[in-house]
A and B are shown apart, each in its own frame.
Chain A
């Protein structure tokens, strides 16, 4: 089934630990995005990639890094997690930046 997957579904992490959230899409979309959604708030863009090999910073990039080695995968890394990074993380993709985005099911991350 074509779509976008994220792993893990949820994670509890100790502060200071390193964590990579995985995101894979099989729609051959050029653009990919990482958002965080805090309780009661909208989606805030962390990082994005308009095409494989390129990445850019979104609205809230501090403490996060991404890579886009190929079309399908767009991992998000927290180098040293802090409690303020507790959130639900959504990965999304779109055919181009002109098209609507398709979202993954999200990863619920708790940093203690």
Chain B
């Protein structure tokens, strides 16, 4: 039973447009959510996070939205740049415990 799901394995957008990556979760105990970005042959790097007491967190071009009632979060990247092309992992955590990761979404930003 996968508790964190990223239902879109891949996403392709044009440079300058908005990228929206989605993540759904099933465990209502999750109280902290993180997004990581991964380039080929490298380890993931932390991108942005959000606590369950908020519904939005913004950092430059990156914004994460949390809809607790729907158990859904999304990462918005605007404007998208070719350097944003990577695999994006959603992760969720309960009570400062271990993080559970989704399977990732491969984003391709076309010049």
Given contacts A40-B103, A45-B98, contact A100 B43 (CB under 8 A): no
Q: Are B104 and A42 in contact (CB under 8 A)?
A: yes
Q: How many residues of A are counted as interface, with CB atoms below 8 angstroms from the partner's CB atoms?
A: 24
Q: Are A100 and B46 in contact (CB under 8 A)?
A: yes
* Chain B residues whose CB sits within 8 angstroms of the CB of A90 once the complex forms: 43-44
- Tell me the interface secondary structure of chain A in the complex: loop
Q: Mark B22-66, 1 if CB is under 8 A from A, else 0.
A: 000000000000101000011111100100000000000000000
Contacts between the two chains (Cβ within 8 Å), count? 52
Q: Are B97 and A42 in contact (CB under 8 A)?
A: no
Q: Bound state CA distance, A38 and B76, in angstroms? A: 26
Residue of A nearest to B102 (CB): A42
8 Å CB contacts to A: which residues of B1-24? 4, 6, 9
8 Å CB contacts to B: which residues of A58-98? 58-59, 90, 92, 96-98
* Chain A residues whose CB sits within 8 angstroms of the CB of B4 once the complex forms: 42
Q: Are B96 and A103 in contact (CB under 8 A)?
A: no
Q: Are A103 and B45 in contact (CB under 8 A)?
A: yes
- Tell me the interface secondary structure of chain B in the complex: loop
Residue of A nearest to B106 (CB): A40
Task: Please give the residue numbers on chain B whose beta carbons come within 8 Å of chain A beta carbons, in ascending order.
Answer: 4, 6, 9, 34, 36, 41-46, 49, 89, 96-104
Residue of A nearest to B6 (CB): A42
Residue of B nearest to A48 (CB): B98
Q: Which of B9, B96, B99, B104 contacts A101 (CB 8 A)?
A: B99
Task: Please give the residue numbers on chain A whose beta carbons come within 8 Å of chain B beta carbons, in ascending order.
Answer: 4, 33, 35, 40-45, 48, 58-59, 90, 92, 96-98, 100-106
A-B contact pairs, 19 of them (CB 8 A): A33-B98, A42-B89, A42-B102, A42-B104, A43-B89, A58-B98, A97-B96, A97-B98, A100-B34, A101-B36, A101-B46, A102-B46, A103-B36, A103-B43, A103-B45, A105-B42, A105-B43, A106-B41, A106-B43
